Structure 1
Amino acid sequence: MGSLNINGRAVTVQAEPDMPLLWVLRCELGMTGTKFGCGVGICGACTVHLDGDASLACKTLMSDLHGQKITTIEGLQGAEAQALKAAWLDLDVVQCGYCQSAQLMAACALLRHKPAPTDADIDAALSHIVCRCGTYPRVRAAIHQAAAKRRPV
């Protein structure tokens, strides 16, 4: 049994120390916005934030968690998140949508750390997320659009 801070709430879960956070979120808590893709850290579909940094929930074991604030797509908030969600809709980024929660999580973490990212910054921050539909150019454009709206004039 353990206590987690998920999306700003204290949550108690029944989980073994070697259980990945991904399974706690999806199976124990019914939070299915964090997707299962490969389960071994290759596809990035399970990207969440740990203390604001993009992390893979499938590679994060319960024993690795020591009071970090966990944010999932269900709890993604703030100015960066709003700007990204608006840009995603404006540029029609989503195709099948399976990787989009991970893309948004990684993009939001990027904008919080680098408010004016370059193409190289975006590629590096999102390189661990596989999009089988190939929406990478639209994702990049949406991140640039969101960043531009967040910059002071």
Structure 2
Amino acid sequence: MMLINRDGQVFVGQRIDNVLEAWQMPQGGIDPGEDAQAAAVRELWEETGVTADKVTLIAEAPEDFCYDLPPEMIGKVWKGKYRGQRQRWFLFRFDGEDSDIHIDTPHPEFRAWRWAAPADLPQLIVPFKAQLYRDVLAAFAPHLPGGGATPR
């Protein structure tokens, strides 16, 4: 999910299980029988400590987005079960204060977090997800400052 603050900046975190300098937006799975939007709110809370009363849904991407793992990672991540991911994206406005963000959750996913300009997202993420982030930016462009413009 994309979480945008009052200044038009997007929440990004550095994964706790990776030493790369890459920054990513929160993401997570949908439990069996769970509504996708409810899953997004739950995952946001699990990864950032941000509660449902601190966010407002702005938009849902009109389609799912997919990415493939690079060949060298296939068979090494996700216990070798998957070659990529299909993702459904939601854009939420963060209505809280920075002090409402707590990445030290019971099962932490991030070791650090910050706000970033939307246009910077494709350069912050691991390279194989850069196109995915460009696609997400394009989907949410009408709701982002400057249309979320990013060079290709």
TM-score under structure 1 length normalisation:
0.30
**Which has more strand, going by share of residues?**
2
More helix by share: 1
Higher relative contact order (CA 8 A, sep 6+): 2
- Using the size of structure 2 for normalisation, the TM-score is 0.30
